[in-house]
Structures are given as structure tokens and as C-alpha cells.
Amino acid sequence: MPVKPDELWGVLDENPEAVVYAGGTDLLVKLRSQHAKPACLICLERLDDFKGITTEGDEIFIGALTTHREMVGDPIVVRDLRLMATATKSLGSPPVRNMGTLAGNIVTASPAGDTLAPLYVLNAQLEIRSRSATRRAPIESFILGPGKVDLNHGEIVSRIIVSKSPKFGVHHYEKVGRRDSLACAVVSMAALVNVTDDNIISKIRLAWGSVGPTIMRFRSVESFLEGKALSIKGLSEAVRLVKESVHPIDDLRASSSYRREVAGRLLLRLIGYTPCI
Amino acid sequence: MKFNSINIGSILCRPDALLKVSGEAKFAVDYYENNCVWAGVKRALEPHAILKNIDCVNALKIPGVLKVLTHKDVQGTNRQGVIRKDQPVLVNDKIRHCGDAVALVLAETKSDLSLAIDAVQIEMERLPAVTDIATALETDSHLVHEHNEKSNILLAGDITVGKGLAAANQCDVLVEAKFETQRQEHAYMETENGWAWLDDEGRINIVCSTQTPFRDRVEIAEALGIDPKNIRIIVPYVGGAFGGKDGITVQSLLALAAQHSEGRPVKMWWNREESFLSSVKRHPSMMSYRLGAKLDGTLHFLDVDISLDTGPYDHLGGVVLALAMEHSGGPYRIPNGLIRGKCVYTNNPVGGAFRGFGVTQVTSAMERAVDLLAEKLGMDRLELRLQNALKAGDRNFIGKTLITSTGIIECLETLSRHKLWRRKLSWKCGAPIFKKRGIGISAVMHASGYGPVVPDYANAKLELTENGKFRIYCGVVDMGQGNTTANIQIIGSLLNQPVGRIEVILPDTDKTLPSGSASASRCTYTFGNALVSAAGIMRERLCQKVADLLMIKDSNEFSMVPEAIRHLPTNREIRLETIARTMDLAEKVVIAHFRAPVATDLVTNDQEMRLHGIPHNLFSYSANLAYIEIDEITGKVGVQKYLTVSDCGKVVNPQLYDQQIQGGICQGLGLALYENFETLDGYVLTKDLSTYLVPTSMDVPDVESVALGIHEPSGPFGSKGIGEISTNGPLPTIANAIFDATGHMLKKSPIKPEAVLAALERNLSR
Amino acid sequence: MIAKVLISFELNSKKIEVETEPDRRVIDLLREDLGLTGVKESCGRGDCGSCSILVDGFVRLSCLMLAVQLHGRKILTIEGLNELEGVSISVQDAFVELGAVQCGFCTPGMIMSTIDLLNSNPKPSRNEIREAISGNICRCGAYQKILDAVETVTEELSESKNV
């Protein structure tokens, strides 16, 4: 259990097989189901350097080890990142949110990770550190596939960086789970939208979870929607486009056809934000 | 404690709750000693195979491994089961499902144990697995049990009612539907476990989580070839059971381990994955219904065909089938029809007892059929039910005359007057954007006790202690249902003692007496009746004793008061403690026996059916209502309100009554909407609580419960069974509410959002 | 054998030191080594909440923590509540009085979640209570009475403050 980054780099150097965890809510479950006992487990929870939420200029910096509970209760998140707050509240359960961290949710890289679709539409960047270097990567290129991320041995995610602007009027996240707590997303959708007074979508970003190997963003759908009315009529063609674009799987939680259908239909929920309502 | 009244009908807080909120309550799983041996099971993980060899060499090489035991180490019949003894303790010839136990490993630590279990190698010859009812019934199907007389059928039977199938033609309206229910897992929070040791006298002592200590003792004895006298079973608090601990889980394995642990205590505790893999489940069912009526709505005919998948072992499969057949027509008068049922062996997980016990399945079918019929007749669904509902003196569908309290009409009438029924239309019309609302109802009956053949009795033992308290020895397990508390109220009110003067001894085959299982909605009815007798004898004996001491002729002049006996004409009192000192042990103990009345109606000549419990004598009833809201975008069903009106006799303790009602509804809603224990070709797919979706606090609404409190003359204080009935309501009530909202009846459970979406789509295109 | 590690932490208001294996789970340390069997295990993988304990005041799952993570922390288990006063006693009493306990296996975890809630939000709404206990599965389905019990505590707390 390193406390300072230097200690961390040291332990990482000495143990090339080391497995790193923060909250343990994913990794320890995985080890149990695989009956695995890694030779070296590094717990990051005491690395205070990688905690806390701050703003600098136009950017918000979220420490990698910020727990989900801390996210939900943070005034900066509540004010500027409502989307993250909503999504994070739907993750797991209260004790899981007390333990799990934002970076943990990212590196687990589950297509159902509840914080991920919001981070995609926020165009989040990850700060990745090793003993000798610091680099930044956009989340979209960092996550390579289910459980796969662009992280080398000796590197850890240190901060998540989100830009404050441009401002969006509508922050929307919906998770479709089979029950209302302790649920894995069957489909989820994050949306940032600006709507004009006469109900026209001026700017929109959309991302879906659990409908492909990673979170999916369809820029063609976004640009198709910009300039359209926020109405059933305006959205219905986009619903069809989304259904054609997703690549969901069948599993115990839902069929691929259901995921496909609902992924599209979730767009309709945006109608609730129509200025005239 | 605010609620400490021992009066019948008042709330007495559960004394066990005091221990449970402080962490002091000891469950079987809380027994540890430093020198204990950990025992664990190597599971087959194959649905169907011939066992060729068990290779323990590598396992035995692991440091810390003490023993690897196989069927060769079992001295008895190596077979266990409640009715039919067909389940091996350790497989000796054939593997019949993935959860079969093949070897028993004893080790120093948990981690040694898990390494060794992985290292045991099973050599086997795989056989094609029989994994669905239709295939199992084909004439050339592989057989799960080669020597079974009826191929893959465990139990089958049919019962003709009235004119039988011929009456179909006399109906003006006939509806026909096929229903399918899923395999449900109990998922009690305390997984199967126990603690055992061989004592100096050579007796095996087992502390375990079970509903049936006395039956377990006999089963272990036979399977392992031990004299039952040399087995003692102790059952502390049980962390939930719901039928899943109605029979052997760890018991025989633990006893076997204790025989080989060289005097050291043995601990076995299945983890969640192992519990899922090897425990019994609610039987998946396929049900065909044809229900017919006259134009005026009088039910005239019902044709039912029920098939249950019982997995490879009987457990209680035959009994579940019989109870399903008995309840297949619901709480209605139906003069004609045919009931066909079969319980089929497969290589799927074992089907067994689960709160509701077959009634859950058939009620869900019948109540949906009634709604379909109401629609076809153009009748109000509540009117149709009321018109045909049973009253005392009627014969139910199977032909049993109802001679005990029968309150289904009152249940339905109370529901009809309730604001949730009266305001249903305005609520339905107020649905917000993207929501569709529906209201569903159902009527349910549920038997209690064992049926006409298997003796349904209890033996209550009551002792006056040295310090003048009363000690209740109850052999019926308290797995959370709270019968212990009801027992305290019975003694407290009959002997006029405050709660602090009453002690309880939990089930222990050395101390308490055989009183049947903690199941079948019978705990308080059967044991309670025995306890009422015991209290009467005790009171009479003590009053007589004091009368003799004081040389007063008429013992009727005495009455029991807290801690003493008072001579009413003179107000003289003698303390119970003082009386206790004048009595010897035999005098201070009262044992009373109660045997539940059984049905004498000869509804079938099939002895097998009678043996398996047809028919029962005593029934509880309920009427249920649900408000649901469907999300049109996702198909998700939200249950907004749930009302249940129940006739389960007089209420002994309203808090315990509510707990049973609310808990059963929670499990029923799980069955209706979430829970599904899935397998593929006999292999288990649902491995843990992240995919087996038990309702959370977010998923169930607050329940409104109205207890009618109708007096049942045969019950203690007018009470009758409450344990199971509430589980049966939610599935049909929710399905009927979706029918109300969408115009489509969903016939397969759990009702998944995708099926609801499809129903909505069909509704739009109509 | 892997070398044992010495850890020290505060357990139920008492400082303790124990030697433990680096891969030992907190729940095993508590139940098997320290005899605190009020902490229950039911799923072993964070799906049920039975093993909940308070770590520095926040509810956490002891099946998903390694014992070494306790070093330097303040741990409270159900057993530790008996020595505390105030909120925890009210919660325990309310669970008994309002019938929030059936089989009792989820109860310790349920109470730990309740205390975490009331520490951070003394006046929760019924829905907030629902959310706070939504990581604790109660298979007996006692949720409604658990909500009643927590609501009662909340009312009592605010009444006693007003007085």
C-alpha cells in the first residue's frame, strides 16, 4: 500500500507482475471468480496525491482515486458536471460507491461502466503518469475494448480532465437496468444538448453504453440531429439511425434485439426537455 | 421495548430481533473453533455422465489436506430423499446434474480446501443430458434413472371432475392458453452450512441451517448407516429458508466428515456460487389451461395439464405436483373438468420446496385464464370472480367439500370497496408522458398442512423452571418467520405471564420433540394447537397442586397471575417459584400432542396422489390488486401500489402477520419481474447475485395489507396458515395489470421488459 | 508461506494490533480471527451488503477489502454499536420495535448502512432511505418495515433536537 507516488513507482518497478487496484469492487470480484491469487497486489487507496477535485482555468481536474460518493457530493461536480453526478448515482449501490473510484470504473473498461458514457460526451481526457512521464489521452482512444485500455506497466491513470465549456443546457443520463439498484446497465445513454427557444437542437453530443464493445458515440447521428426540432418527429429518424449503428450482444440480462431497440428509443426521452413543456 | 404485550392479537416484538440487531444472535454459520477442520465438496459440473473414477492423488499431495472421501467411504444406503430416496450423498454410479456431490474434502484451512477441491479429478463418460420436459417424455429419451418404472416420470396422475372433458361442449365461452413459469432460486441470505463433531460417546452432533431437524436425522442415519440415536441435530437461528432448507443440504456430508475428522469439529459452508449450483429450486412449469363458462359467467369447465421439471431427484417434487393439481382451479366452483399432472425427471437443477409449493405456478395460470375469460365474456373481472368464488359447503375444483373457514368472498368484497379499486380509472387516465398504466387483480387460495396420509402432528413440551418461569421446547424451526414469538404469546396469554417469564428452547433433537417440518404454512397452526393443550394441562396441574398445598377443595377457585397462582376468593398467592420447588422434574414438564384434522373426501382413488397430499382440509385465501406503470420507451414495469386482502384466520401478532405478507409479496414480485435461474443444456448460467436479480428496496412498493381476521374454529385462537399465500399473488396480478394496460396477456415469466415492449407494439398496431 | 503483516487499527473504539496474511479478506479477519460473527457473508462479491462495516464512518463491504487496508483506520462493526450511545441505539431499538427484522441475516449490514445515512443526512426522506439501503439485499423482504423503522428514528431525532 504505497502512500507517495515514489513508493508506487518503486513497487511497480520491483514487481513486473503486480496487479493494481483502488476500490477493489471490480478487481477482487474478478480474482474470486477466476480463483486467482496474483503474486503482488498493489492497493492505491492511500495515494492522496491522486485525490480531490479542482478547477484550473477552463478545466476541471478529478483525481483518479476520487470515489463515486465523493463525486456525487462535490460542489464542482454538482454545479458543472450534473451529468456525471446523475450517472454516478446510478452506479452499483451505496457501499460500492463508497469504495469504487472514477479511474477504477474507467480502467475496468466495461461497456456498461456507468461513468463512461458521460465521460465520452464530455470529451474527457485522462492524465496518465509513470515514474518518468506524464501524458494525456482522450478517453475514446484510451479504452480499446472490454477490459482493455491503453496503459503500460508502470503507468497509472492519475487524473481525469473535463473541459467546462461549451456549456450545455441539458445534461441527460438514463440507465436501463433490470432492477433499480445493484444493476448492470442493459443500455445507457448520456446526452448533452442545447435547444433554442424555438425548440431546435443547436448542439448535441450522445453516447451509449452496453451496446457494443466500448461506449459508442455516433457523430453522424449528432450532426444529423443538429438543426432538427426536439420532437418525436424530429427524433424518429435518428432513433432508426441509432438502431442501425449499435452492435449489442445477447447475455443473461437482455437480448441484443432489446438493447438495439431501446438504444434508439432512449433518444425520445429528450423530448421531456422541450422548452415549451 | 414499546410493544411487549403477550395478548393474542397485539404486537409482541420478536425477542430474537433484540439479538439480531446487536450481532449476538448465533446462526449455524457463526460456529468456529481454532482446531476445526474445513470440509468442502467436489461438484460434478456435468449434467449427465457415468462416473468412472475419482482421482484424489493430486489433492492429497496438497499440504493441509487431511482426507478426500468418496462414495466408498459411505457405509449406509448412500441415498437420501424425503419421499423417494433417490439422491446420493456422494455419487457412486452416475452423475445426474451439475451440482451432484462427488467427493468430500477435509482440510486445515479454507484456502487448502479450495485448492484441493480443484485438484480432485473426476473421470467420467459423458451422456446426452435430458434438459427439457418434452424431450424427457419422448419414448426413446435417455433415462435419468435407468430403473425407474415410468421412464422419466417421477409422478403422474389425472383426476376427472364431474363430466370431465365432455363438458367442454356445454360451454358458451371457452378460453385456452399455455403458460410457462421459470426456475426460481431461494437465495436465502445464509447459504447452506453446518458445524459437526463426534463426541466422546461416539455420537455425531450437527449444528446446521435446516427446516427439518427430525427428518434430517432419519435421512442421515439411513444414508450413512448410523443409528439415529447417535445423531443429534441442533438448529439455532436460521438465516432464511423459504422451503430451500426443507430437506438435506449439508447434513449427511457433515456427518460423514465428522466420522473421519478424528474428533476435531468440522465446518462446512457453501459459498453463494455452490449454493446456486447445488440447492433445490422452484419447479419450472408448463401449464395448458382451457377454461369455459356459461354466458352468464358461471364457470362450467376447466381442463388443466401441468408439467413440472423436477431435475434428477424427487426431493419434494411429487408433493409439489400434487399441491399444484389440487389448487389448479383456484378458489372457484367449477363442476366439470380434468386435471392432468406430471413431474418429470431431467438433468437440470433439482426442483424442490419453495414457499408457494406448486400453488404459485397454477395460480398464476388460473388467474390469467380468468381475466382472459372475463374479457371474452365482456364481464367485469371482479364480478366474474365474485360470482364463482367458493363459500363454505361448496366443493372446490378437485371435489373437496370446504368445511373450514372460507373467506374468499369477503376478501373480494373488501377489495371491491377499497379506494384503490374504486379510483382505478382516474389513476389509469393520469399516466404521464411515455407511461402506460394498468390495474390487475387476482384471487388466491392456499392449503396448509400435509394432506390426508402423511401424519401432520406436533408435540409441544412445556416446563416450569426452577425459578418459576415457563420454558417452551419447540421442535419447529424459526427460520425468520417468527413462530417462536407466536409461541411466547400463546403461553403468555394462556398462563397470564409477562414475556420476561417465558423462555424458549430452539429445535434440538435431544431436547425438543418431533413436530414436523417448518413448512406448509403449518408452524403456528399445528405446533400452536399442541401448545394450547400443553398450557391447559399445565394450568390445571399447577392450580390443583396449589389447591392441594392449601387444602382447598376447588381448584377452579385459583387463577394464574404473573409469577404466581392466586386464590381468587381470598387473594392468597403462591409464587410459581415456590411451587416449582415442591415439584419433581417429571411433574414440572407437560407434553401435549396435536394431530391436524385431515380431509376424508375421497376425491381420487389414486393412492399415490393421496400419499402425495391430495386433498387438504384447511385453506387460507387472499384477493390482490396492483397498480403498475409501464415505461413505453424501455418496457420496464414499475409496481406503484399493491393491496392484499387476506383471510388467514385471526391474527396472533399483526407485526408477524405483516412480515409474512410483505415478504411473500416481495418474493412474488421477484418471480413476476426479475428472478430467473437460467441453465443451458443442464449447465448453470446464473452463478451469482449479480445475475440472479432479487428485488432491492428500490424495486418493491409499500404494500397495503388488510387482514380480515375471520375466525377459524380449528386453529389456535382462530388462526390459520399465513406463511405462503402472499407469494402466489404477484405474478398473476402483475400479468393481469399488464393485460389491462396493453390488451395483451403475457404468459411467460419472469415478465421481461422486452416482452412488455412487444405487447405495447402489438397494441399500437391493433 | 507468505510473510504476515502487522497492522494496527481502531476496532469498535479499541485500538488493536494483529498479524495477518496480506491476501486475507477483512471479513475473514473479523469473523474468524477476531470473533466478530455479527458481520455476515452471503455473496462474497459485493452483490448483497450483508458484510457491511463502517470504515472511518462510511459503509464499506468487508468481503471486498483486504485486511491490510484497515491499517490506521477506524472500524465499526455491529458489535461495536452496543457500546455507543445515541443514534445507533435508536436505530437498533427501532428495528426491533417496528418489526424490521425477520431472519436477521441482513440486519447487521442494513443497520450499518442506516447509520452511515443518518450520519450524513439526519433528516432523510423515505426515498432517500430506500436509496441508502439499496445495496443491502433482504431476502425476507422486510424493506417496508425497515423503511418504517428508519423513518421513526429520523422523527425521534428531529423531535429531540427541537426539544
Instruction: Answer whether C102 touches A (CB < 8 Å).
Output: no
User: Does position A19 have pLDDT exceeding 60, yes or no?
Assistant: yes
Domain housing A243: 170-273
Q: Which residue is listed with cell 449427465? A: B48
pLDDT digits (tens, 9 = 90+) for B149-208: 999 999 999 999 999 999 999 999 999 999 999 999 999 999 999 999 999 999 999 999
> To which residue does cell 468456529 refer?
B32
Chain A residues in contact with B433 by the CB 8 A cut-off are 271-272
Asked if C69's CB is within 8 angstroms of A45's CB, the reply is yes
Same fold, C5-77 and C87-162: no
Q: Is the per-residue pLDDT at B222 higher than 50?
A: yes
* Cβ-based contacts of A1 with chain C (< 8 Å): 68-69, 71
Amino acid at B93: D
- The predicted pLDDT at position C1 comes to 55
**What mean pLDDT do residues B462-470 have?**
97
Return the CA Rg of chain A.
19
* Distance spanning both ends of chain C, measured CA to CA: 60
SS3 category, B559:
strand
Cα dihedral across residues B574, B578, B581, B582: positive or negative? negative
Which residue of C lies nearest to B30 if distances are taken between CA atoms?
C37
Contact (CB, 8 A) for B27 and B16: no
Distances (CA, A) of B174 to B295, B302, B367: 10, 9, 15
State how far residue A178 is from chain C, nearest Cα, in angstroms.
Answer: 14
The model's pLDDT over A195-222, given as tens digits with 9 standing for 90+, comes to 999 999 999 999 999 999 999 999 999 9
Does B686 reach chain A within 8 Å, measured CB to CB?
A: yes
Whether A212 and A159 map to the same domain: the answer is no
**Chains near B (3 or more Cβ pairs under 8 Å):** A, C
Please identify, among A163, A187, A207, the residue that sits at the C-terminal boundary of a domain.
Answer: A163
Place of cell 417469564: B501
Q: Is the pLDDT of residue B1 over 60?
A: no
Q: What is the DSSP string of B403-469?
A: -S---HHHHHHHHHHSHHHHTHHHHHHT--TTEEEEEEEEEEEEEES--SSS--EEEEEEEE-TTS-
Residues 6+ apart with CB under 8 A from A11: A2, A18, A40, A42
Report how many domains make up chain A: 2
CB-based contact, C4 to chain B, within 8 Å: no
Check which CATH number belongs to the domain holding A146 and give it.
Answer: 3.30.465.10
Pick from A35, A255, A265: CB nearest B754: A255
Strand pairing category for A41-43 and A19-21: parallel
Distance from C-alpha of B548 to C-alpha of A64, rounded to nearest angstrom: 83
Chain B CB contacts of A185 under 8 Å are none
**Residue linked to cell 446420493:** B88
CATH number, residue A241: 3.30.390.50
User: Residue B764: pLDDT above 70?
Assistant: no
Q: How far is CA C44 from the centre of its chain?
A: 16
d(CA B254, CA B233): 11
Q: Which residues of B586-617 are buried (b: 16+ CB within 10 A; e: fewer)?
A: eebbbebebebebbebebbeeeebbbbbbbbb
Q: Which CATH architecture describes the domain C5-77?
A: Roll (3.10)
In the three-class reduction of DSSP (H, G, I as helix; E, B as strand; rest coil), residue B152 is classed as coil
Q: For chain C, which residues make up each domain, given as ranges? A: 5-77, 87-162
* pLDDT average, residue stretch C112-119: 96
Interface size B-C, in CB pairs within 8 Å, comes to: 176
Residues pairing with B452 in the sheet: none
Q: Nearest-CA distance from A197 to chain B in Å?
A: 21
Strands B299-311, B285-293: pairing kind: antiparallel
Question: Which 8-state DSSP code applies to residue B73?
Answer: G
Longest CA pairwise span in chain C (Å): 60
Instruction: Indicate the helix (H) or strand (E) that contains B50.
Output: strand B49-55
Residue A117 has pLDDT above 90, yes or no: yes
CA A31 remoteness from chain centre = 23
Q: Are B39 and B219 in contact (CB under 8 A)?
A: no
Measured between CB atoms, does B10 come within 8 Å of chain C? no
Chain B residue closest in CA terms to A253: B691
pLDDT digits over B72-102, tens only? 999 999 999 999 999 999 999 999 999 999 9
Torsion, CA B338, CA B344, CA B349, CA B353, rounded to 10? 50
Residues of C in contact with B686 (CB under 8 A): none
Distance CA B237, CA B480 (A): 8
CB A141 within 8 A of CB A240: no
Q: Got the DSSP string for A210-221? A: SSSSS-B--HHH
C-alpha to C-alpha distance for A175 and C50, rounded to whole angstroms: 25
| Residues paired with B503 in a beta bridge | B471
Domain ranges of chain B: 28-127+192-269, 281-451+601-765, 457-595
A34 touches chain B (CB under 8 A): no
For B94-143, the pLDDT digits (tens) are 999 999 999 999 999 999 999 999 999 999 999 999 999 999 999 999 99
Task: Give which of B499, B339, B451 is closest to B15, Cα–Cα.
Answer: B499
Contact between C45 and B2 using a beta-carbon 8 Å cutoff: no
User: In Å, how far is B114's CA from the nearest CA of chain A?
Assistant: 9
In a domain, A235, yes or no: yes
CATH code: domain B457-595 is 3.30.365.10
| Fold of the domain spanning B281-451+601-765 | Aldehyde Oxidoreductase; domain 4 (3.30.365)
CB nearest B698 (choices: C47, C134, C139)? C134
B697 touching C (Cβ < 8 Å): yes
Q: Which of B186, B480, B703 sits opposite C104 (nearest CB)?
A: B480
**Given A163, A193, A218, which residue is the final one in a domain?**
A163
| A35 with B114: Cβ contact below 8 A | yes
Residue pair B596/B715 in contact (Cβ under 8 Å)? The answer is: no
Whether B281-451+601-765 shares its CATH topology with B457-595 is answered: yes
pLDDT tens readout for residues B414-465: 999 999 999 999 999 999 999 999 999 999 999 999 999 999 999 999 999 9
Are C134 and B697 within 8 A, CB to CB?
yes
Q: Which of C47, C93, C102 is nearest residue B689 as measured by Cβ atoms?
A: C47
**Is A86 inside any structural domain?**
yes
Distance between CA atoms of A40 and B184, rounded to whole angstroms? 40
Residue C81 has pLDDT above 80, yes or no: yes
In the numeric block, the cell 443514534 is attached to C87
The answer to whether residues B232 and B197 touch, using CB atoms and an 8 Å cutoff, is no
Please give the grid coordinates belonging to residue B249.
443440504
Chain C neighbors of A33, CB-CB under 8 A: 45
> Which B residues in the span 634-673 are in contact with A, Cβ-Cβ below 8 Å?
634-636
Q: Does A202 touch chain C (CB under 8 A)?
A: no
User: What ranges in chain C are assigned the alpha helix state H?
Assistant: 26-28, 78-81, 87-97, 107-120, 126-132, 143-162
What nine digits make up the cell of C17? 494490533
At A179-200, the pLDDT tens digits run: 999 999 999 999 999 999 999 9
Q: Could you tell me if C5 lies within 8 Å of chain A, comparing CB atoms?
A: no
Interface test with C, best of A99, A101, A179, A253 (most C CBs within 10 A): A99
A269/B697 touch (CB, cutoff 8 Å), yes or no:
no
Report strand pairing: B703-707 vs B637-647: parallel
Amino acid at A228: K
Tell me, what's the pLDDT at C111? 98
Check if B272 contacts A (Cβ < 8 Å): no
What's residue B4's pLDDT?
A: 84
Work out the percent of chain A whose per-residue pLDDT is above 70: 99
Neighbours of chain C (3+ CB pairs under 8 A): A, B
Q: Give the 3-state secondary structure percentages of chain B, helix then strand then coil, rounded to 5.
A: 30, 25, 40
> ipTM greater than 0.85, yes or no?
yes
- For residue A35, list chain B residues with Cβ-Cβ distance below 8 A: 114, 118
Inter-chain contact C61–A25, Cβ cutoff 8 Å?
A: yes
CA distance B89 to B225: 12
In this predicted structure, the answer to whether residue B498 has a pLDDT above a threshold of 50 is yes
pLDDT of amino acid B32:
96
State which H helix or E strand residue B196 sits in. Answer: strand B193-198
Q: For residues A264 and A179, state if they share a domain.
A: yes
Cis peptide before B615 (omega within 30 of 0): yes
pLDDT of B166 reads 98
Contact residues, chain A, for B757 at CB < 8 Å: 258, 261-262
Q: Is the pLDDT of residue A275 over 80?
A: no
Distance of CA B180 to the CA centre of its chain: 21
CATH superfamily of C87-162: [2Fe-2S]-binding domain (1.10.150.120)
| pLDDT above 90 (res A166) | no
Which residue from A1, A28, A95 is facing C52, i.e. has the nearest CB? A95
Taking the C-alpha atoms of residue B643 and residue B635, their distance in angstroms, rounded to an integer, is 23
Q: Both A76 and A95 in a single domain?
A: yes
Chains with at least 3 CB pairs less than 8 angstroms from chain A: B, C
Nearest to A24 by CA among A87, A114, A96: A96
Q: Is the pLDDT of residue A16 over 50?
A: yes
Q: Which residue of C has its CA nearest to A38?
A: C23
Which letter does DSSP use for residue B401 in this model?
A: B
Last residue of a domain, one of A131, A163, A195: A163
- Rounded CA-CA distance B515/B538 in Å is 19
Determine the average pLDDT of the residues in B362-371.
Answer: 98
Give yes or no for residue B766 having a pLDDT over 50: no
A134/C115 Cα distance (integer angstroms): 41
How is residue B146 written as a grid cell?
435407468
Residue A198 and residue A112 in one domain: no
- CA–CA min distance A261, chain C (Å): 28
Determine the residue among A242, A250, A262, A277 to mutate to test chain B binding: the one whose Cβ has the most chain B Cβ atoms within 10 Å: A262
DSSP code at position A182: S
Q: Average pLDDT for residues B321-350, to the nearest whole number?
A: 98
Contact A258 B754 (CB under 8 A): yes
If pLDDT is split at 50, 70 and 90, which confidence band does B3 have?
confident
CA distance B701 to chain A (A): 12
Distance from C-alpha of B431 to C-alpha of B435, rounded to nearest angstrom: 6
The answer to whether the CB of B729 falls within 8 A of the CB of B668 is yes
Count of A-B CB contacts under 8 Å: 58
Which residue type occupies C82? N
| DSSP 8-state secondary structure symbol assigned to residue B141 | P
Residue A261 is assigned to a structural domain of this protein: yes
Judged by DSSP in three states, B88 sits in: strand
d(CA B573, CA B554): 15
Window B:543-572, CB contacts with C under 8 Å: none
Phi, psi of B629 (to 5 degrees): -130, 125
When computed from its CA atoms, the radius of gyration of chain C, rounded to whole angstroms, is 16
Which residues in chain C are closer than 8 Å to B695, comparing Cβ atoms? 141
Give the one of A29, A37, A41 whose C-beta lies nearest to C64's C-beta. A29
Q: What is the mean pLDDT of residues A3-20?
A: 93
Q: Which residue has the cell 469498535?
A: C12
Q: Is B689 near chain C, with CB under 8 Å? A: yes
| B254 vs B69: CA distance, rounded Å | 12
- Name the architecture of domain B28-127+192-269: Alpha-Beta Complex (3.90)
B11-20, B32-41, C76-85, range with the lowest pLDDT: C76-85
Among B330, B246, B241, B277, residue whose Cα is nearest residue B101 = B277
The beta-carbon neighbor of C135 closest among A23, A41, A96 is A96
Measured between CB atoms, does A268 come within 8 Å of chain B?
Answer: yes
Asked if the Cβ–Cβ distance from C104 to B662 is below 8 Å, we say no
Alpha carbon distance C72, A228 (integer Å): 57
